[in-house]
Structure 1
Amino acid sequence: MRVVELGEGVAVPYAGKLLAETGADVAKVEPPGGDGARRAGPFPGDRPDPEASALFHYQN
């Protein structure tokens, strides 16, 4: 199965993660500014970094 994930927030990215864990090929499409979860903490060392958001990495 191939899935294109277009959502933001928590529910849709998490659904994409679950589908990927069951074998689906998931392609995440983000807006130009990136998924809003990239700006949500917690962050390592409490320093905001869009590449280090624990929430974003858990969902993706």
Structure 2
Amino acid sequence: MTAQPTPKNSLPIKIVTERNFIDWLQSQQMSLAFTIYQSSRLMLLGANSQGQMSVFDW
């Protein structure tokens, strides 16, 4: 999945996971938050109700 770029960050980020990663996130009922300080980004990664990866990029 490629996160959509925000206006201040024109380069997209490609996120590649293991095939069971989304299932694991759902089974643990959790999401991940992390920063990419070099580009001043905050990323939130989780699973949506359809079992697909959901990414928010600030």
> What's the TM-score, normalizing by structure 2?
0.28
Name the structure with the higher strand share.
Answer: 2
Name the structure with the higher helix share.
Answer: 1
